[in-house]
Amino acid sequence: MASKKLLDLLNAGIAREMQVAVQYMWQHVQWIGVKGFATKDAFQEIAVAEMKHAEAIAERLFYLGAIPTTKPDPINVGKTLKEMIAQDVKDEEKAITLYKQIIELARKENDETTAFLFMGILKDEEDHHDTFTTLLEQV
């Protein structure tokens, strides 16, 4: 079965996914101005994707015998569009680092299912990072 370290990392992933799901949705709600209008749909689409990630990770964690966290990481909506997107870029970078760590540890523990799950999520996070990086160049 999975090590405590891997289970803790999965719970860290859930906390992060819940954080950004709420953060991005509130950014979608609080957008301002013409540039905000151009980004609001991206915030919403990525927020929904992040919630689906939280669900998938929670299902895997529960299967492995642990209880998923109900506490998100701290949510930072931001006050300006530039501040919002800059924070989102940082949050996606943290996710990419965390998920690479999870993939590596899962493989060391011969847990190919968890590694496979996170390979798909990692791809999404890299896409989100690309979206936010591109949007940041425009604000």
CATH of the domain at 15: 1.20.1260.10
What percent of the chain shows pLDDT beyond 90?
Answer: 89
pLDDT band, very low/low/confident/very high, at 77 (cuts 50, 70, 90): very high
- Which domain covers residue 133, as residue numbers? 4-138
Query: What single-letter DSSP state applies at residue 99?
Result: H
- How confident is the prediction for the chain on average, in pLDDT? 95
Q: What is the pTM of this model?
A: 0.95
Which residues, in sequence order, are CB contacts of 74 under 8 Å at separation 6+? 19
Spatial distance between the Cα atoms of 76 and 27, rounded to a whole number of angstroms: 10
pLDDT in tens, 94-137: 999 999 999 999 999 999 999 999 999 999 999 999 999 999 99
Query: What single-letter DSSP state applies at residue 31?
Result: -
Which residues, in sequence order, are CB contacts of 99 under 8 Å at separation 6+? 13, 118, 121, 122, 125
Residue 89 confidence (pLDDT) above 90: yes
Residue 19 confidence (pLDDT) above 90: yes
Handedness of CA 93, 95, 99, 102 (dihedral sign): positive
Q: How far apart are the first and last CA of the chain?
A: 47
> What pLDDT, on the 0 to 100 scale, is given for residue 122?
98
> What pLDDT, on the 0 to 100 scale, is given for residue 26?
95
Quote the number of domains for the chain.
1
Spatial distance between the Cα atoms of 131 and 12, rounded to a whole number of angstroms: 23
